[in-house]
Amino acid sequence: MKGILAEIASMVKDFGSAPTFAEMPRKTLADKGIAGPTAAHTIEEVHTPLNLAYLTFTTGSSAFQNIVGITFAELPARVKASFTVLERAGLKAGDKVLVTYPPLVNVFSGEAFKKYGLQWEFLVRSSRDAFLAALYEFQPKAVVGESSFIRASLEDAKHMGVADELPKDIVLLTAGTPLDLELLPIAQEVLNAEVHDLYGCQEFGWLCMDGVPVRDDIELVKLPDNGGQDMYELVVGGLPMGDSFPVSESGHVCNRNGKVITYRRERTYPEYEVIVKATTLTSTVTLGRVARSILRIKGRVVKISPDVVTGAEHTVLELIPDYITAGKQQGIVIEGPAKTRFFDDLVQAQLDYQQKAKADPTWTKRN
């Protein structure tokens, strides 16, 4: 018996159905396209589930930073939206892009940058002087970064008398926080730059550029009376963002054809609840798993109607006010397939996950 176990001990070191630690696939920061410095993070290795394309984090602008899971099923629409942004900005394959804050690449996804054919680099340090040095040395066609940081850096360049040494005619894709309107004149003066305002988030990717949606499954839902200012909740694929904006016919400051004034964002309070009224799924058990998965990886609460219709031709979701605004506003029905794309992509991700057995045989779980 001892001889058999000794042989097994020798065999499992050389081969087996499960990988050793050294054989496990790795997704490094470089693989994700975000291998750059930040002053706000540490670098930690984690075991990432095989059903997720990658992990990222919320910005923490409205609450504690939380983990966000990006599924493979949602990547095509996310990449398509990113292509729309890059095309509207006039970028082309081979262009050099300077990214001031590496996690912003996760909103595009590194895959989008790779497929589009961009070359992108990061700052040596996450500081304004490092940004000016990178502009001078790297000579990018475009910059992706937070608008106030870029504005303050360009003011530094003026004060130091080095503005003339910086590249001209570049594209600024500002993101991460509401657009700092004071950036516009100094960007024109120092860089002769074209400024664009991107709105999106780690959970959903890019949603609007200069007030114009970049996805086909975006709805604007008018909120109840807001002190005389009409505000509209932005809903993506049936899931509310929790952000509201004015909509103006006079247009966005960066594009008069853009009607969503994304730099005047307000947090929606109270937030809508999402109720699934009909689903293409035939099992309410699977639908329940979808709802829990959305809560866990996207932080959005989805509930299932007691009389939900299964096996429907398309998804039907209802957005209803919570108890605080009950009676002030009617529910809003959103019907698929076009307008529930994001929700349906997450349904597909759940189905893909269920069709694959857990790859680690040491993990045993009773149903």
Question: At which residue do the structure tokens 């394309």 appear?
Answer: 53
Here the tokens at position 147 are 């608008």
Percent of the chain with pLDDT over 70: 92
- With cut-offs at 50, 70 and 90, classify the pLDDT of residue 321: confident
Q: Which of 171, 159, 176, 246 is nearest to 211 (CA)?
A: 246
Three-state SS for 241? Answer: strand
pLDDT digits (tens, 9 = 90+) for 170-209: 999 999 999 999 999 999 999 999 999 999 999 999 999 9
Torsion of CA 195, 196, 197, 200, to 10 degrees: -140
Q: Strands 96-99, 142-145: parallel, antiparallel or unpaired by DSSP?
A: parallel
Say what the pLDDT of residue 365 is.
60
Mean pLDDT of the chain: 90
Taking 60 as the threshold, does the pLDDT of residue 327 lie above it? no
Which CA distances in Å does 304 have to 72, 221, 308, 347?
24, 21, 7, 14
Here the tokens at position 186 are 């100094």
Distance separating alpha carbons of residues 19 and 327, to the nearest angstrom: 57
**Residue-wise DSSP of 20-45:** -TTTS----HHHHT-----SS-----
Distance separating alpha carbons of residues 245 and 267, to the nearest angstrom: 9
Taking 50 as the threshold, does the pLDDT of residue 223 lie above it? yes
Distance separating alpha carbons of residues 345 and 103, to the nearest angstrom: 23
Taking 50 as the threshold, does the pLDDT of residue 324 lie above it? no
Distance separating alpha carbons of residues 197 and 263, to the nearest angstrom: 8
Here the tokens at position 51 are 């059903």
Say what the pLDDT of residue 230 is.
85
Say what the pLDDT of residue 273 is.
87
Taking 50 as the threshold, does the pLDDT of residue 125 lie above it? yes
Distance separating alpha carbons of residues 8 and 298, to the nearest angstrom: 44
**Cross-strand partners of 220:** 234
Q: Strands 302-309, 273-278: parallel, antiparallel or unpaired by DSSP?
A: parallel
pLDDT digits (tens, 9 = 90+) for 70-102: 999 999 999 999 999 999 999 999 999 999 999
- With cut-offs at 50, 70 and 90, classify the pLDDT of residue 5: confident
pLDDT digits (tens, 9 = 90+) for 258-290: 999 999 998 887 778 899 999 999 999 999 999
Q: Which of 185, 215, 208, 192 is nearest to 257 (CA)?
A: 208
Q: Break the chain into its structural domains and give their ranges.
A: 29-215, 273-354
Question: At which residue do the structure tokens 């929700």 appear?
Answer: 343
Distance separating alpha carbons of residues 192 and 106, to the nearest angstrom: 28
Are the C-beta atoms of residues 312 and 278 closer than 8 Å to each other? yes
Report phi then psi at 174, rounded to 5: -90, 140
CATH of domain 29-215: 3.40.50.12780
Are the C-beta atoms of residues 18 and 361 closer than 8 Å to each other? yes
Q: Strands 239-245, 266-267: parallel, antiparallel or unpaired by DSSP?
A: antiparallel
Say what the pLDDT of residue 186 is.
97
Count of residues in the chain: 367
Say what the pLDDT of residue 228 is.
67
Inter-residue long-range contacts of 133-137, CB under 8 Å, 24+ positions, other chains counted: 134/98, 135/98, 135/166, 135/167, 136/162, 136/165, 136/166, 136/167
Poorest-pLDDT segment among 187-196, 213-222, 319-328: 319-328
Q: Which of 77, 86, 72 is nearest to 120 (CA)?
A: 86
CB-count burial class (<10 Å; 0-12, 13-18, 19+) for 24 = exposed
Q: Strands 302-309, 171-174: parallel, antiparallel or unpaired by DSSP?
A: unpaired
What is the C-alpha radius of gyration for the chain, rounded to an integer number of angstroms?
Answer: 23
Which CA distances in Å does 109 have to 47, 210, 282, 349?
19, 20, 32, 17
pLDDT digits (tens, 9 = 90+) for 132-155: 999 999 999 999 999 999 999 999
Please give the model's pTM, rounded to 2 decimal places.
0.90
Query: Residue 55: which region, alpha, beta or left (left: phi > 0; alpha: psi -120 to 50)?
Result: beta
213-240: average pLDDT: 87
Taking 80 as the threshold, does the pLDDT of residue 364 lie above it? no
